Amino acid sequence: MLIVYNLIRFFLYFVIMILSLFNRKLLGFFKTRLFQKISSEKFLGKNEKSILIHLSSVGEFNLSCELIEKILSRNEKVIISVMTDTGFLAINKKYSDNKNVKILYFPLDDFFVLKKIYKRYKIKKTIIIETEIWVNLYYLAAKFGDLFVVNGRLTDKKMKSYKKVRWFISSSLNKAKKILVQSEKDAKRYENLKIKSEKIKVFKNLKYSIKYDIISEERKNKYLKEILDKNKKIIVCGSTRENEERIWLKVFKKINIKNEYQLVLVPRHLERIKKVEDEILKLFPQKNYSLLSDFENWKNLKKTEIVVVNKMGVLTDFYQMADFVFVGGTLVNVGGHSILEPLYYGRKPIIGKYYQNIEQIVNDAKKFNFVEIAESEDEIINYLKSGEKINTKEFFEKNNEIDKIVKEIF
């Protein structure tokens, strides 16, 4: 299998080389990953070995931060391999000055570059965050040391595609010493791929270990002074998808008769901002809304009924300022985005019935009555009229299993 896989890759290289002659961006992408400097000088001592942590993007890095910190606290040398540019920048920002951390671009599963990395850095353990299956990486990880899959998960969609090449997938995954998955459903899916059951263990999602940023008083006061109305109940709709804004605008029009509420819409994709504005004007032709950029550019210093956030990286600020939080991708069949951020800040999230992507976390929250599932406008309105305060400290303490995960690896 390994020989066939690498022969196919060999021929693909020729195709990529030809395409790269006409595409500088593509050329740069492959150059940074296949021809990066690999040196252990001033990193490893004479008898030292290292641990490789491979992740895909900035999202996987964020949920792995506490795991990385726990490993570093054991005086281990850590190599972090990442696929994306944004992930590389985020890791570099946090660890560029740490002499115990080396940051590399993932070399696209190239056998010879990976082999050089494993030999040069004397890698004794490899940790794959979630489930990325790279044949050469899995082979070399098992050959040079122990391979672990952490926070593993398999969706039904992935299962369907993996079943078509079950032998190929199971051959790679069975090279892992342990596969630590997020739920019992994930465990069963791995077993259906003919993964040895003794390798599979269930632990809570690594997301429970994330320490989210707390907004400063200065920043909080700035929001209240310029944008948010502290005399109203603030509804924040985060990571909204197409058609969800329309539902919430209808809800807002019905409930805000006495001008008691303020609505903040935070679309998942910024390229949809114009469509969101059009939806607002259909129901609120008087144009009593503002874009976040209007305030930042001093174009509009009047507080409005509706605020549309057209900026990345500030959603958690608004979650912390909210009285009510809706998490998007749940009123339409997307599958849902993380509800842990609002929970971390003590806000009970409102979601729709489509939460298959976050099912385990939603089920955990249900046990504490820490999530409100609403399937209609009337159900949303009824909850907004009541509302409640929650204390989520025990919830996160109970579900944070980072220490158990570290124990499995060591």
β-partners of residue 80 are 53, 103
Strands of the sheet containing 233-240, edge to edge, are 289-291, 306-308, 261-267, 233-240, 324-327, 349-351, 372-373
Every domain of the chain with CATH number 3.40.50.11720 lies at 42-202
Tokens (6 digits) for 211: 């320490």
pLDDT in tens, 90-111: 999 999 999 999 999 999 999 9
pLDDT in tens, 368-378: 999 999 999 99
Average pLDDT over residues 284-291: 89
The predicted pLDDT at position 347 comes to 96
In order, the DSSP letters of 54-123 are EESSHHHHHHHHHHHHHHHTTT-EEEEEESSHHHHHHHHHHHTT-TTEEEEE--TT-HHHHHHHHHHTTE
Cβ atoms of 239 and 314 closer than 8 Å? no
Q: By CB neighbour count within 10 A (0-12 exposed, 13-18 middle, 19+ buried), where does 17 fall?
A: exposed
Examine the pLDDT at 232 and tell me if it is beyond 80.
yes
- Give kind and range of the element (H or E) at residue 202: strand 200-202
Unique residue bearing structure tokens 């609120």: 284
How big is the chain by its Cα radius of gyration, in Å? 24
Topology annotation, domain 217-396: Rossmann fold (3.40.50)
Q: Which pLDDT band holds residue 300 (cuts at 50, 70, 90)?
A: low
Tokens (6 digits) for 30: 């492959």
Tallying the residues shown for the chain, one arrives at 410
pTM of the entire predicted model? 0.89
Cβ atoms of 149 and 131 closer than 8 Å? yes
Q: How many percent of the chain have pLDDT more than 70?
A: 100
β-partners of residue 120 are none
**Amino acid found at 360:** Q
Every domain of the chain with CATH number 3.40.50.2000 lies at 217-396
Examine the pLDDT at 157 and tell me if it is beyond 90.
no
Q: Who contacts 73 (Cβ-Cβ below 8 Å, separation ≥6)? A: none
- CA proximity to 330, closest of 240, 209, 405, 196: 240
pLDDT in tens, 336-378: 999 999 999 999 999 999 999 999 999 999 999 999 999 999 9
The predicted pLDDT at position 297 comes to 78
The predicted pLDDT at position 21 comes to 83
The predicted pLDDT at position 75 comes to 96
Unique residue bearing structure tokens 């056998």: 111
Residue 336 — φ and ψ, nearest 5°? 95, 145
Tokens (6 digits) for 346: 């003590």
Average pLDDT over residues 208-221: 95
Measured between alpha carbons, how far is 136 from 130 in angstroms, rounded to an integer? 17
Long-range contacts formed by 22-31: CB under 8 A, 24+ apart: 30/108
The predicted pLDDT at position 130 comes to 93
Q: Who contacts 91 (Cβ-Cβ below 8 Å, separation ≥6)? A: 61, 80, 82, 103
Task: Tell me the average pLDDT of the chain.
Answer: 94
Q: Which of 24-38, 79-93, 148-162, 293-307 is least confident?
A: 293-307
pLDDT in tens, 42-52: 899 889 999 99
Measured between alpha carbons, how far is 260 from 182 in angstroms, rounded to an integer? 41
CATH number of 42-202: 3.40.50.11720
pLDDT in tens, 51-64: 999 999 999 999 99
β-partners of residue 51 are 78, 125
Tokens (6 digits) for 253: 């029009």
Examine the pLDDT at 387 and tell me if it is beyond 80.
no
Interior angle at CA 59, CA 330 and CA 208, nearest 5: 75
**Amino acid found at 334:** V
The predicted pLDDT at position 96 comes to 93
What is the distance of C-alpha 332 from the center of its chain?
20
